Amino acid sequence: MSNTIAENTFGRFLKFWRKVHKVSQETLAHKLNSSARHISRLESGSSRASESIIKDIAQALSLGERDTNHLLIAAGYAAELKKVDFNSDNLKWLRNAMLLNLRALDPHPSALLDSSANILMVNKAWVGFYRQQNSNIDNVTNLFDLLFNLQGAQTNNSSQQDTLSVILMSLQQQALFSNKQEDYDLPLRLAKSNNVPSNWQQRAATLEPMASFRTQTTINGVNKIFYSVNSTVGALGPTAYASAPQLTINTIFPEDYSLDLSDFIQDDIKHPLLHY
């Protein structure tokens, strides 16, 4: 019984949306230039839907991006997201909300990222935290580029190498889902960093990805351990990433909660992506 349920996820979604829009199998088949028998087989799981017919079904049922992506995912295909301009006029409310979020997180270093880890906004603490490790921080536009190219002892320890390996594996598997060249190019480029171990694939295969990772940096001449934690800003539901924009707030917390981070938020801190 459990196998039948697992194999027929797409069929459940298709049947659900037909009923929502009060469309019979015969009517849907007519719109698709198909047969009611084929629609029935798709719903029962005895036939597998192709990616093209799923898109045709979504169009015939007037489904939006989220619900089209649910159909694709249910059938074993990757979601397809339209590009959303985070700086567009109609997303001003979201930018304001994210600004308040980042400001409230001070003195904990925090940045707002898109799905490719491009940095959209930062708080004061983020600038102060990374500026002591990279004097050229104002020109850094991608968090992965920053993490993979940090210089110093903190990038040469086993924990940090595990972190880079897991990130690379996540990016590699994302590329396998999308099969887009730009998604393949990113892990290939990052893997060339001198900080990445040569056996990163085998290393990552033994590790499970998490919403956080361990890192080290020097505070007042002393090595301190921090945890980098990601929080999703997305749609509700079982697939929060089935609609754009895909945003993440990355925040760095010290292992020692008593650690004074006030030096990170001096009033004279400036950065192109710091908006307060």
Could you tell me the pLDDT band of residue 2, with boundaries at 50, 70 and 90? very low
Q: What mean pLDDT do residues 214-236 have?
A: 79
Q: Is pLDDT of 241 > 70?
A: no
User: How confident is the model over 143-162, as pLDDT tens digits?
Assistant: 999 888 876 544 457 778 88
- 255 vs 82: which has the higher pLDDT: 255
Residue partners of 116: CB distance under 8 A and separation at least 6: 142, 186
Q: Is 2-74 assigned to CATH 1.10.260.40?
A: yes
Q: Where exactly are the structural domains of the chain? A: 2-74, 89-265
Whole-number pLDDT of residue 82? 77
C-alpha 252/C-alpha 132 separation (Å) is 15
Cis before 109? omega within 30: no
Tokens of 180: 């887009």
pLDDT on residue 29: 97
Q: What is the pLDDT of residues 92-118, one digit of tens each?
A: 999 999 999 999 999 999 999 988 899
What is the pLDDT averaged over residues 202-223? 80
**Separation of CA 23 from chain center:** 35
The answer for residues whose C-beta is within 8 angstroms of residue 102's C-beta and 6 or more apart is 110, 111, 112, 121, 122, 123, 126, 249
